[in-house]
Structure 1
């Protein structure tokens, strides 16, 4: 059943990416105020960023997506080879299926096999134990562990868990007992500042807000449910939960006024290099790519994934230069207007978005 679900996730996530082509999302509510004489030379730009013990040469990473099936094997192979060729960090999909069924492990271990020297993160659900976390890290010889929290997805998933009360204590055990850094992330519904504060209190130092706007796992789980054959059946679906959650922009604006000393990563609906820089301007140290890389790996394989990653790295550097930001830290001093739904949602949470429009240059 788990392997069938993983294949459904790949198929439905790829279909969603086609539907999202050209669509607006919350990142379009973030506009850099153009200062025509602010630019610098691209050669003077340093796009490297520090995340925990790691230094990325560019502020992007391949986020956790898939594994556990024959369909996932060539996808993870292509992504791992591309990560190795470009130096971009990569996370696996959830390793839980391989812990339960070791025969599915090759679609995960292929990541380290083809990327022996790169930064690799294993991925596991938050309901797992410290022993599971250690096994996941060992399986991939991973440098870190992504722990994903996905209560909305679990609620909608027909075979999902609805027991969430132990998650925080299990995360605390893993953070305290694991010998590699732990990154806690959502799966597309966002982490609020209150949630990040809870995580910080139990020792979490890195979070990925993973907001809405990209792959929607509530919709995927609803699409996995048979089409209703009666009016009563229609009430069994969770269509009305598909719009729940926070965008990455919502989360970053919330966290911008937080005093928690946490490294913030962002993902969810990232479509192009400008979205990466927008997220960094709002405080993200690095930005995760999922749907866009899934699609290119499936359509153009290793060579396409390498070309796209290198192109993104170049374009990010050029946008830094255009904005006059020598470093990622310098982006947090660029002037941005927050408009549209993101501004309205921020005002509803008593967040003053006007302060982002006139910031002191570093």
Structure 2
């Protein structure tokens, strides 16, 4: 049952990706072009740091799959691509392994094929502390993702219906598991209030994983005998909206959900994300063209990201939070309703001491961590 569900998720996610219109709220974020802002490419680094973790690049292969023979093959190929490009990688939910140890190999292949890379284990919020440690141990994981997904569980035929314990259990795992914990949504977004709650629970970082990519509520509705939860399609906030909503929150944020190309990566970093993950887009490339095609895609993304930083004058990904941004359309309406002043984004590059509008608040304001990313090894120091 679990293995078939994992195979169904892959098939339905790819069908969604093929049918996607291509537009999402990342398109409502644009950069103010400053024609003399550019720097020399040799001065650009892609290194990023957060929660005591150093990555050489700000792009990662986000949680996808595992638990069946077919998905084990996918994980093997993803691990090879991660090894060849140096990007971090996360497993899919390891609940299948925790229920049935015979499928362990479909997950452990991530470490076997990528022995020196940064690997993240992935569990749900109802997992016991002992099982969380088992998941970390199987992958010799450098950190642990805990996914939260009430909008997916609700239409899931065999889904959870008891959510009150999720927060306290996340706190227990974060305190006891021995590696940094990153809490992530699965495509419906993390609000400011949720991020503040995670901060209280001792979570080291959060992946906002907003609307715009794979819609798991839609996938689970498609698995029902009667697809009577169609009204949940599009539930939640977009990734761009979540990043804007996260201003001033101390817990570092990562971004995924609807990331289509390097410009979306650039936008997310400029909105304050420390790193940016992709799942369905990478998976489609892998299934269409194999490992060679995926390695080529990730390599091209990294090269293009460095080129874009060069054009914008951002020596590190963290420097992108000083770039001037304009917010348009429904995303601007979201900001207005949530009390987010988008005017500050449009003037961040102006030094605080320079003449300018009276309401100017300085370079980065509350929209990011400020410059100063450090070059470090791919693996964090917390393994």
Inter-partner Cα distance in structure 1 for 2:317 and 2:101: 41
Structure 1 segment 67-78 matched on structure 2, within 5 A: 67-78=66-77
Inter-partner Cα distance in structure 1 for 2:293 and 2:55: 21
Structure 1 segment 206-217 matched on structure 2, within 5 A: 206-217=205-216
Deviation at residue 253 of structure 1 after TM alignment: 0.5
Structure 2 residue 239 is the aligned partner of structure 1 residue 248:
yes
CA contact (8 A) 1:29 1:340 kept: yes
Inter-partner Cα distance in structure 2 for 1:210 and 1:322: 27
Structure 2 residue 301 is the aligned partner of structure 1 residue 312:
yes
1:8 aligned residue: 8
Cα distance per residue 1:88-134 (max 9 Å; x no partner): 00000000101101111111011000000100000001111111100
Deviation at residue 345 of structure 1 after TM alignment: 1.2
Cα distance per residue 1:126-168 (max 9 Å; x no partner): 1111111001101111111000000110001011011000001
1:270 aligned residue: 259
1:179 aligned residue: 178
Inter-partner Cα distance in structure 2 for 1:25 and 1:251: 13
Deviation at residue 53 of structure 1 after TM alignment: 2.9
Deviation at residue 304 of structure 1 after TM alignment: 1.2
SS in structure 2 of the partner of residue 88 of structure 1:
coil
2:360 aligned residue: none
Inter-partner Cα distance in structure 2 for 1:299 and 1:14: 10
2:378 aligned residue: none
1:292 aligned residue: 281
Inter-partner Cα distance in structure 2 for 1:106 and 1:205: 28
CA contact (8 A) 1:205 1:261 kept: no
1:218 aligned residue: 217
SS in structure 2 of the partner of residue 332 of structure 1:
helix
Question: TM-score if structure 1 supplies the norm length?
Answer: 0.95
Cα distance per residue 1:48-93 (max 9 Å; x no partner): 1013232211110100000001110221111101111111000000
Structure 1 segment 1-362 matched on structure 2, within 5 A: 1-20=1-20, 23-226=22-225, 228=226, 237-256=228-247, 258=248, 260-360=249-349
Change (3 A) 1:33 1:360: closer
Over 3 Å off, 4+ runs: none
Inter-partner Cα distance in structure 2 for 1:328 and 1:140: 28
CA-based RMSD: 1.1
Deviation at residue 360 of structure 1 after TM alignment: 3.0
Deviation at residue 197 of structure 1 after TM alignment: 0.5
CA contact (8 A) 1:154 1:160 kept: yes
Inter-partner Cα distance in structure 2 for 1:180 and 1:300: 35
How many residues align structurally? Answer: 351
Deviation at residue 321 of structure 1 after TM alignment: 0.7
Inter-partner Cα distance in structure 2 for 1:300 and 1:52: 35
